Amino acid sequence: MLQIRHVSKRFDELAALADIDLAVDRGEIVGIVGTSGCGKSTLLRIVGGLEAPSSGSVMLDNVAVAGPRPEVGLVFQEPRLMPWLSVRENVEFALAKRPRDQRRPLADAALARVGLRAFADALPQQLSGGMAQRAAIARALVARPAVLLLDEPFSALDAFTRFGLQDHLLDIWRADQPTMLFVTHDIEESLVLSDRVVVMRAKPGRIHAQYRIDLPRPRRRTEAQLQSWKERILEDLDLAQKGADAEPEFAI
């Protein structure tokens, strides 16, 4: 349903993305991993219609993406909640096109799905980092988008909160089965969540390898098979020999 066709992106002299080709099926979860500077976030922004490709196109259900669209939800690394709106109002913010009387029940239902129903009247600053990110997910999901794009959604959170939210995201996915494309620098995260892991490399940003992770979910983080994939991806990224020191920001 989502087709990325020969997408390239240049920022002046810098080639951020070179000829990216990727097709994502309906309901598929695709994780993109890569070192910083490989253009993975730029690719996500192009798919979300926040940036235009220098060449190539992104097709969503055979319609070219030319800007942000209601059927695409976005979650960023930071929650980006409006600090002057309550949590509920922040979720309702995504429902401007709906009749007024529908907004509140929809927002409350979305908050209930992320376990924040009791915090609907709180202000964003009163939430912890993990709760704020769940509110952001509720905002992205409330309009029931067909595609959910997530740009390092859990990287600013501590490990335990991160594990909790990964499981949570899978619960939500089971309910609606949106197509999900997410960017991460956490290889384990991509292996636990994805149907397919896409490995990108930099200079210029391109797809280096793809792995189909055909294990049933929920997956255990310690599973032996995940470890072998992890090693292969580390090799793809040239990190296996140099170890974690080469890219200290990289979570292994």
Contact set with other proteins (CB under 8 A): 48, 50, 68, 70, 74, 76, 78, 80, 82-85, 93-94, 96-97, 123, 125-126
Secondary structure of 148-164 as H, E, C letters: EEEECCCCCCCHHHHHH
Nearer to other proteins, 34 or 73 (CB): 73
Give the nearest distance from C-beta 82 to other proteins in angstroms: 6
Give the nearest distance from C-beta 13 to other proteins in angstroms: 24
Give the nearest distance from C-beta 97 to other proteins in angstroms: 7
Nearer to other proteins, 44 or 207 (CB): 44
Chain centroid, CA 238 distance in Å: 24
Give the nearest distance from C-beta 136 to other proteins in angstroms: 9
Give the number of other Cβ atoms within 10 Å of residue 198's Cβ: 23
Count, residues in the chain? 252
Using CA atoms, how far apart are residues 6 and 23, in angstroms rounded to an integer?
11
DSSP 126: G
**Residue 170 is encoded by which pair of tokens?**
């899978």
Nearer to other proteins, 94 or 193 (CB): 94
SS3 for 100? Answer: helix
Nearer to other proteins, 93 or 163 (CB): 93
